[in-house]
């Protein structure tokens, strides 16, 4: 591995602890409106509803995302270089499933993992294939392989379900208080100011925790990607390309100056900080002369044929 094992283990433990604390915070945020509505029984019902919804939709969201993106399955013979790199990454990550690549004909620069380590794959867009070299794509693919390896799609699905249910329940409580305003004005009941204050801020806390969890998983995926490829510079170069593309889009939308982005309102960490961390890893790797998985230099990977987009019903039939 390109990273020292003790450093990698330390980072895994730290990020795992942060994930656990954030998930506990999300559960507590969800418990507040549940308790206000029905006491302990309400808390248990809310948590059970989240688990049930997650289990019921564990396979559906991935296929819906692929269908909405107009994605098609990219055959190995049509992208041999990408599949060769992906097979090496799967082997290093200890994933037993057959590598699956999906293609989306979007000009956006994007890649995303779908499914889990037992039934999943990675989708790449046309914009990404045209903008990144094979070495840079190897870093991006390793990042997505890390998401598959650690089940990040399911973790984020649970977090999103908690945040969404928290919002629904607090909205219901706020509507109930609003309906009771005539009784408050008549003096028959008192205004529950503390309850109103709690339910007003609980959805915000839950949303911020969900965003923090997303940033945490991105940092972890960067670290794991560097360990899988042994080439942090490749991923850092890809991130720089993505940031330039994002910056050009924002500049064209808002003018010469990009709007200021608040760190704790981002789904992803700042690119500058991610590149800085990867640079530190790269320095450590060079000092220790670790071998790396670095594909031969190629302006762009060879994709001999783009697949046609599959229809919604085709994705829903697939298991």
Residues that are catalytic = 144
In this structure, the strands spanning 101-104 and 120-125 are parallel
Distances (CA, A) of 92 to 2, 17, 254: 12, 24, 43
Distances (CA, A) of 64 to 68, 128, 141, 284, 316: 6, 21, 21, 41, 8
Sign for the pseudo-dihedral over CA of 263, 265, 271, 274 = positive
CA distance 117 to 121: 8
The dihedral formed by the CA atoms of 186, 192, 196 and 202, expressed in degrees to the nearest 10: -160
First to last CA, the chain: 34
Q: In terms of C-beta density within 10 A (0-12 exposed, 13-18 middle, 19 or more buried), how is residue 196 classed?
A: middle
- In the numeric block, the tokens 């396979």 are attached to 59
Structure tokens at 189: 């009941």
């Amino acid at each position: 591995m390109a990273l020292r094992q003790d450093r990698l283990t330390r980072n895994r433990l730290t990020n795992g602890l942060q994930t656990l604390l954030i998930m506990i915070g999300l559960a507590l945020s969800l418990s507040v409106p549940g308790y206000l509505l029905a006491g302990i029984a309400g808390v248990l019902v809310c948590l059970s509803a989240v688990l049930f919804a997650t289990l019921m939709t564990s396979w559906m969201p991935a296929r819906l995302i692929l269908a909405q993106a107009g994605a098609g399955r990219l055959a190995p013979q049509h992208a041999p270089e990408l599949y060769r790199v992906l097979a090496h990454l799967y082997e290093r990550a200890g994933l037993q499933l057959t590598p699956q690549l999906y293609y989306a004909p979007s000009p956006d620069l994007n890649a995303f993992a779908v499914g889990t380590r037992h039934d999943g794959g990675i989708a790449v867009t046309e914009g990404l294939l045209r903008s990144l070299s094979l070495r840079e794509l190897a870093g991006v693919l390793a990042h997505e392989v890390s998401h598959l390896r650690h089940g990040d799609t399911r973790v984020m699905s649970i977090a999103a379900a908690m945040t969404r249910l928290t919002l629904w329940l607090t909205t219901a409580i706020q509507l109930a208080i609003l309906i009771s305003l005539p009784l408050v004005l008549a003096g028959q009941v008192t205004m529950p100011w503390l309850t109103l204050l709690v339910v007003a801020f609980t959805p915000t806390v839950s949303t911020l925790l969900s965003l923090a969890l997303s940033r945490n998983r991105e940092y972890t995926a960067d670290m794991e990607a560097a360990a899988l490829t042994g080439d942090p510079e490749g991923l850092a170069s890809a991130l720089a390309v993505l940031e330039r593309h994002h910056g050009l889009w924002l500049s064209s939308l808002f003018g010469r100056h990009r709007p200021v982005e608040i760190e704790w309102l981002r789904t992803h960490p700042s690119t500058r900080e991610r590149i800085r961390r990867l640079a530190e890893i790269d320095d450590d790797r060079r000092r220790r002369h670790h071998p790396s998985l670095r594909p031969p230099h190629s302006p762009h990977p060879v994709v001999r044929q783009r697949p046609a987009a599959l229809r919604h019903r085709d994705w829903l039939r697939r298991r």
